[in-house]
Chains A and B, each alone.
Chain A
């Protein structure tokens, strides 16, 4: 176990930044998000979860897939250069670390590997930071996530009053800490601080089985009435991964891009002829919850929610997934 003093942390980030793009929670215009570390920014590592999840580092909001051009009878496609920068993601909470495993299921398994995602993901080292305090909106433990230790990361950190404890988890993590020689000291008798205990807990046992019988239930009408049909909950969710593919064409050339999309939008399911199989927010909100709590568990054996609480924090009308889970379990079929 190693230790770094709080005021030495920027130097460690600097050391990592020599060989990689380092992303770490920083404050910008009143929001806290993962931003590239340039040695100047205002670090806000200790204030819990970021407003936006770090998912756009692996799955950018918008990304070009290929370019094309037509000349006379000739048409050609130009591939975009593959992403090959190294990234280090520092200060990832346990909930977001679990979300990476969920995204991996989507983009890397079941017979298809998404190269855009894979390149970014494999080029990234993750340094997790344990939570010793939970926000009122946190409910990670509901999904068996330990706020005190993240899954699938390279280095685990814990906050101390005057610094951080660091523990190597993987070989890649070992290399990262070797780059910090001189800044890191032996932790000696320092104790790992106690993990946060989120007060919000919901019993999810049996929720998938119940939902399987609830597709036509009037509950969805009632729960969706207040929903605005905006994309705030899905865009801020670390596990939402829907995208659209469209083209930008100018004359004889153009490019295809993909960008985030949201099942809360009417356009998402609108067919070419104008028919919409999810015509109102009732069907759209139902889809969002069924995807997280039924379809994903059916396909991948785990829930597609990590209890980060972002949707609960930012939904303008307090559509609360924990309440939905509770109510789903209570309604009569």
Chain B
């Protein structure tokens, strides 16, 4: 059987040639060997730009919002986490299901690009899996129109499914004294540039008008200081509560290396404890823990 990358190129070419879709979104090779950024293909002749390698980390789901108001049908390659991002957008009625054509990839896991850059190409084999893949419960897409048939990552997937420590970092921070915890989070977010990369990549962040783009409202001021930065941090985290699919993209894109996932996971952990186990973006029909009301909902919050 041909490689996944060849299948990707062939399918993209077919879909574009038939006119079944107007655009294919996948990945292509970037400036350096450890970068495989998103690629947007509209011509059948361009399909050989598409690549599949261990650095195809970028979650592509969010890009659908850019084409929300066009009539185009768009094909998208989806790894497990990308597919959960799609489910999130569908649940929020952000895009009509028939406007997207999903080509699923049985994901063998991706690698940590920043570590790769530091190690150098000779040591490509030693690069660790991306943090998100260590705890990935759905490497196979939960939603797709077709599934490409190659699967090189059985071992990684099994290891990921059984991995412990999904909340290890959360527990470490929980064990701190309130003062230590304050010091930990303020030190992290004092660095925050308020660049909003974390928000812009996130498939759970899809408000048409974001509070942080409305500084005149007076809710979150534009000053880059501790108080506004913390307000930003907490508000962003709460706005994705129950909707975060743990794709890890916010933390990957943060230029300042802020441990954003620790905050997201703290909320996931709390939600699980308060409202029962829930995995966002897995079941299209399941109601969100914070998107419904039950008479016996617990009222305490920590």
Contacts and interface: CB of A to CB of B under 8 A. Distances in A.
Nearest to B198: A230
Contacts of A323: 31
Contact of B221 (A29, A246, A312): A246
Contacts of B40: 222, 225-226
A29 B196 contact: no
Interface in A259-314: 259-262, 265-267, 281, 312, 314
Contacts of B225: 62
Contacts of A281: 66
Nearest to B200: A228
B224 A228 contact: no
A237 to B, nearest CB: 11
B197 A316 contact: yes
B35 A246 contact: no
Contacts of B196: 230-231, 265
A189 B257 CA distance: 43
Contacts of A109: none
A17 interface: no
B58 interface: yes
Nearest to B67: A225
B194 interface: yes
B58 A317 contact: yes
A136 B224 contact: no
Interface size class of A (residues with CB under 8 A): 35 or more
B204 to A, nearest CB: 15
Interface string A188-229: 000000000000000000000000000000000010011011
Given A51-B255, A235-B193, A246 B31 contact: no
B213 interface: yes
A232 B221 contact: no
B261 interface: no
B181 interface: no
A231 B195 CA distance: 4
A246 B222 contact: yes
B200 A320 contact: no
Contact of B257 (A30, A222, A228, A232): A30
A30 B256 CA distance: 9
Contact of A317 (B37, B214, B223): B37
A267 B197 contact: no
Interface string B212-244: 011100000111110000000000000000000
A61 B40 CA distance: 35
Nearest to B30: A318
Contacts of A29: 187-188, 191, 257
Contacts of B38: 225-226, 317
Contact of A259 (B213, B223, B255): B223
B252 interface: yes
Given A62-B225, A226-B38, A232-B193, A267 B215 contact: yes
B201 interface: yes
Interface in A35-76: 51, 61-62
A95 interface: no
Contact of A230 (B35, B58, B66, B197): B197
A223 B150 CA distance: 31
Interface string A137-174: 00000000000000000000000000000000000000
B11 to A, nearest CB: 20
Contact of B223 (A236, A248, A265): A248
B66 A225 contact: yes
Contact of B224 (A30, A62, A225, A232): A62
Contacts of B215: 244, 246, 267
Contacts of B256: 31, 51
B223 A257 contact: yes
B201 A232 contact: no
A323 B31 CA distance: 8
B214 A267 contact: yes
B253 interface: yes
A112 B88 CA distance: 51
Contact of A236 (B35, B193, B213): B193
A231 B193 contact: yes
A202 B2 CA distance: 37
A69 to B, nearest CB: 19
Contacts of B63: 225-226
A3 B161 CA distance: 57
5 contacts: A29-B257, A232-B253, A316-B58, A316-B255, A320-B31
Given A136-B32, A260-B224, A317-B38, 15 more contacts: A29-B187, A51-B256, A62-B225, A229-B200, A230-B195, A230-B196, A230-B200, A231-B194, A232-B193, A235-B255, A246-B215, A266-B213, A267-B215, A318-B30, A318-B37
Interface of A: 29-31, 51, 61-62, 136, 222, 225-226, 228-232, 235-236, 244, 246, 248, 257, 259-262, 265-267, 281, 312, 314, 316-318, 320, 322-323
Interface of B: 30-32, 35, 37-40, 58, 63, 66, 117, 187-188, 191, 193-197, 199-201, 213-215, 221-225, 252-253, 255-257
